[in-house]
């Protein structure tokens, strides 16, 4: 039950090892003129590696992370790392924010300040939050896990235990990617504790089979067009983008050898997703490299990938999603991987706010922090107060 203070402090020998491996990279050949179709282009990755090796400042990144108060505790046999950033506003709402794959708490560096101290950023003090930002068990500073079974529902229960240990009886949750799955489960499992669920990805709300002519005919023109767009994007996902998830859901250990032994391999595996899943606003490469470095230094490529395996092999996998009664908001950033449909989401979620934005992708907290912060504030302003 103890909670111990924590600071990120990577040993100098780890940095020396990283630099030596980067210097000794064996580069593959590539086909001419194919762009991103076969994966990360060679010149793109070489530029990133050059910057990582010679210009990127890990110690600066480490100091920035350590501006947050951080802690570790053991829950259900797993080490759980988290940042706890309390607002200067005493009546702030507790908010648990959960990252996804291939992310980390680095994703929240652009939103933590405005959420905890809105007065400083030109906002209203009544919109302040006390932030709890855990690393998912198995991911970066919460890894590696030492036993099987760490899928999303188990993580949701562990994070509920974490909030209880911190003395938060009523709180909100927010997440995208795996963070959305975990946050939704918290709302479903603990409606007496969770005042609201804010998501920038909504699980199970897209089209996964081709709609029939009869189904389309029953919809108004706008919904018909969105339904077809949802189906076409899902088709494209299955054709060209599903491979990483299949590998991690079936053979995460085999993949782990390559990613844990090669920093360039680890970089390519994550950089591809940051490129393909983001929108027009470029993600700062320092944020990308801090994220990748955390995976590299903690050797958690394999244990982070295992969440796909555990979910895919859980007893409930393939069963219908159980409904959640907790008030839920969705911020729709159009360049994300899937196009969700509100009519499907409402079958299993208590949707009280649905906002479609003109831009932004999968990593909303890094790409469009102002839009995400405003949406989080607006939602929790309207749900029952803690």
Q: How confident is the model at residue 386 (pLDDT cuts 50, 70, 90)?
A: very low
Q: How confident is the model at residue 290 (pLDDT cuts 50, 70, 90)?
A: very high
Answer whether CATH 3.30.300.30 is correct for domain 3-18+38-382.
no
Q: What is the domain partition of the chain in residue ranges? A: 3-18+38-382
Q: Quick check: 99 and 175 in contact, CB under 8 A?
A: yes
Q: How confident is the model at residue 275 (pLDDT cuts 50, 70, 90)?
A: very high
Average pLDDT, rounded, for the chain: 97
Reported as a single tens digit per residue, the pLDDT across 3-39 is 999 999 999 999 999 999 999 999 999 999 999 999 9
Reported as a single tens digit per residue, the pLDDT across 154-177 is 999 999 999 999 999 999 999 999
Residue 385 pLDDT > 60, yes or no?
Answer: no
Q: What predicted TM-score, i.e. pTM, was given to this entire model?
A: 0.96
pLDDT value of residue 347: 96
Cα separations in angstroms, 250 against 70, 242, 370: 33, 13, 37
**Could you list the active site residues?**
177, 308, 362
Rounded to an integer, what distance in angstroms lies between the CA atom of residue 106 and that of residue 104?
A: 5
- DSSP codes of every residue in 243-306: HHHHHHHH-HHHHHHHHHH-HHHHHHHHHHHHHHS--SSPPPHHHHHHHHHHHHHHT-HHHHHH
């Amino acid at each position: 039950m103890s909670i111990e203070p924590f600071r990120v402090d990577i040993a100098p020998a780890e940095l020396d090892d990283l630099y030596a491996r980067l210097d000794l990279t064996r580069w593959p050949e590539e086909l001419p003129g194919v762009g991103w179709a076969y994966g990360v282009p060679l010149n793109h990755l070489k530029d990133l590696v050059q910057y990582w090796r010679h210009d990127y400042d890990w110690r600066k990144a480490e100091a920035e992370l350590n501006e947050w108060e951080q802690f570790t505790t053991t829950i259900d046999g797993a080490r759980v790392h988290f940042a706890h950033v309390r607002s200067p506003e005493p009546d702030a709402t507790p908010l648990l924010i959960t990252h996804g794959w291939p992310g980390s708490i680095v994703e929240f560096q652009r939103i933590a300040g405005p959420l905890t101290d809105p007065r400083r950023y030109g906002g209203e003090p009544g919109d302040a939050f006390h932030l709890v930002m855990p690393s998912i068990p198995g991911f970066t500073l919460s890894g590696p896990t030492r036993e099987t079974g760490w899928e999303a529902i188990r993580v949701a229960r562990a994070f509920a235990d974490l909030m209880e240990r911190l003395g938060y009886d009523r709180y909100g949750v927010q997440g995208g990617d795996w963070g959305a799955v975990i946050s939704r489960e918290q709302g479903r499992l603990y409606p007496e504790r969770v005042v609201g669920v804010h998501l920038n990805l909504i699980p199970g709300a897209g089209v996964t089979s081709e709609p029939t002519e009869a189904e389309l005919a029953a919809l108004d023109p706008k919904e018909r067009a969105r339904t077809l767009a949802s189906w076409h994007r899902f088709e494209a996902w299955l054709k060209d983008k599903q491979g990483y998830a299949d590998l991690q859901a079936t053979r995460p250990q085999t993949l782990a050898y390559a990613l844990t032994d090669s920093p360039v391999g680890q970089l390519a595996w994550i950089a591809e997703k940051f490129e393909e899943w983001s929108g027009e606003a470029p993600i700062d490469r320092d944020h990308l490299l801090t994220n990748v470095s955390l995976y590299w230094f903690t050797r958690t490529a394999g244990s982070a990938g295992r969440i796909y395996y555990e979910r895919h092999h859980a007893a409930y996998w393939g069963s219908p999603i159980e409904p959640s009664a907790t008030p839920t908001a969705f911020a729709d950033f159009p360049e994300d991987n899937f196009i969700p449909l509100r009519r499907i989401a409402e079958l299993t979620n208590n949707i009280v706010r649905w906002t479609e934005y003109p831009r932004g992708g999968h990593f909303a907290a890094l790409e469009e922090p102002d839009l995400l912060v405003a949406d989080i504030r607006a939602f929790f302003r309207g749900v029952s107060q803690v």
